Amino acid sequence: MKQIVARTSLSLLVLSTSPLAAQEASEGMDLMREGARMLLEQLFQKMEPALKELDGVMDDVTAYDPPVILPNGDILIRRKPPIKEAPTPDQEAAPDDAPEGAMDI
């Protein structure tokens, strides 16, 4: 009988503290989330000038091929050849000296 009472009282004790523990864990997670957010905001504020300077120095990375490592250890980063733009219809239909209605054969 004492075991039943002890087990029941222990289970009631655990069940009664569970919402409190869950609430404390929830508050702890909220505090951790807020602290991480504040840390990242401060980090971005301090890094902003360096990132702006890097943006001015760095070229468009899509203009380069992937790096190639040569057998001697050299690393080559080749620039992609410029893409030739297709001529517009106005450029294709350049006026000739031919009379109107004449066809090229």
* 68 touches 78 (CB < 8 A): yes
This prediction's pTM: 0.35
Secondary structure, 3-state, 18-29:
HHHHHHHHHHHH
Q: Which residue has the tokens 């039943």?
A: 4
Cβ–Cβ contacts within 10 Å for residue 98, how many?
9
What pLDDT score does 73 carry?
95
Separation between Cα atoms, residue 48 and residue 9, nearest integer Å: 58
Q: What is the DSSP letter of 73?
A: S
Give tens-digit pLDDT for 88-103: 666 555 555 666 767 7
Predicted pLDDT of residue 54: 82
> From first to last of its 105 residues, what are the pLDDT tens digits of the chain?
566 666 666 666 666 655 555 567 777 788 899 999 999 999 999 999 988 888 877 777 788 899 999 999 999 999 888 877 766 666 555 555 666 767 776
Q: What's the CA gap between 88 and 2, in Å, rounded?
A: 94
Q: Say what the pLDDT of residue 94 is.
A: 54
Residue 67 · residue 75 · CB < 8 Å? yes
